[in-house]
Amino acid sequence: MFYRRLLLVKILVLIGLLSIGCGKKTPAPSSEKLTIGVVSYGDGKVSLDKYNRFKDYIATKTRSIRVDVEPAYNELQAVTQIQRKNWDIVFATPGLAAIAIGKELYVPLFSMESVSRRQRSLLIVLNDSPIREIKDLSNKTVALGEPGSASGYYLPLYDLYGLTLSKIRFAPTPKSTLELLRDSSVEAGALSQRDFETHKRQFPNTKFRIIHTSRSIPPGVVLVAPTVEANRQQFLQKVMAEAPADIAADAGYIPDAKVPKYKQLIRLVEKVRPLEPAVKNIPAVLIRNQSESQEQAFE
């Protein structure tokens, strides 16, 4: 009887030691599905291929049964996905990031560029246009990007405050903005400095001219949805921070870069929102009542 009791005590002690040893290991949180949202501007498979290795890496590290990369072909589609919380991880352009952080409580994890590499929005006209500055756009037709684009929509609308435009046309992609200009369908168009440099080469027979350059825009960021449980958010951040450099580079984020501050851009977006009902009107009267100056709204 004594030996049986002694054997039972040893077994219980052994079970306890094994439990303690196992407790020291934190298993990777697992899930059925993880959805990664990106804006591809209609580039299709070529644009999404660069995320393949990142997708496989995340699937392995998180033990997710399924990891999908889901494209939106313009910012308007992306805004809908963000509002519905359909994306767990978002590779967000600046305008989308401002909406997602400011209104939808997404959490920024990583910068998609060095903070020093800020971008700007441009207002472009044809080279032979008589338009020289913003005030000359009064009663003219202007192409803007879709709501959700900082460089194509929010910043140009902010800079166009006070004007009455004949009409605003919405271009789903930066390239289509230049197409509208080339075809003289609009008299000016807004897009980012980077997109202008990239796409103007596709119009060798058309000369464009910049009439206005905006204040700077913070880089895009990688976000995680508020619907992702807090421990899993932390684990995803850790996994992404430890990703091999070539995988992170393909996906377009910089693990050790400082995450940009979005407070001022969020404030600017909020100031533009009251204008949104007017942008589809003909004419589009971009007038507001405010005591604070434009310069105070964006530092």
Give the CA distances from residue 79 to residues 22, 95, 97, 153, 292, in Å, rounded to whole numbers and listed in that order: 43, 9, 10, 13, 28
pLDDT > 90? residue 23: no
Q: Look at residue 118 in the predicted model and tell me its pLDDT.
A: 76
Q: Look at residue 207 in the predicted model and tell me its pLDDT.
A: 97
CA–CA gap between residue 246 and residue 252 (Å, rounded)? 10
The lowest-confidence range among 38-47, 97-106, 118-127, 283-292 is: 38-47
User: What digits encode the pLDDT tens for the residues 207-259?
Assistant: 999 999 999 999 999 999 999 999 999 999 999 999 999 999 999 999 999 99
Tell me the whole-structure pTM to 2 decimals. Answer: 0.81
The pLDDT mean for the chain works out to 86
More confident residue, 65 or 156: 156
Taken in order of first residue, the domains within the chain and their CATH numbers are 33-112+221-259 (3.40.190.10), 119-217+265-297 (3.40.190.10)
Laid out side by side, the sheet with 89-92 consists of 66-72, 33-39, 89-92, 221-224, 107-111
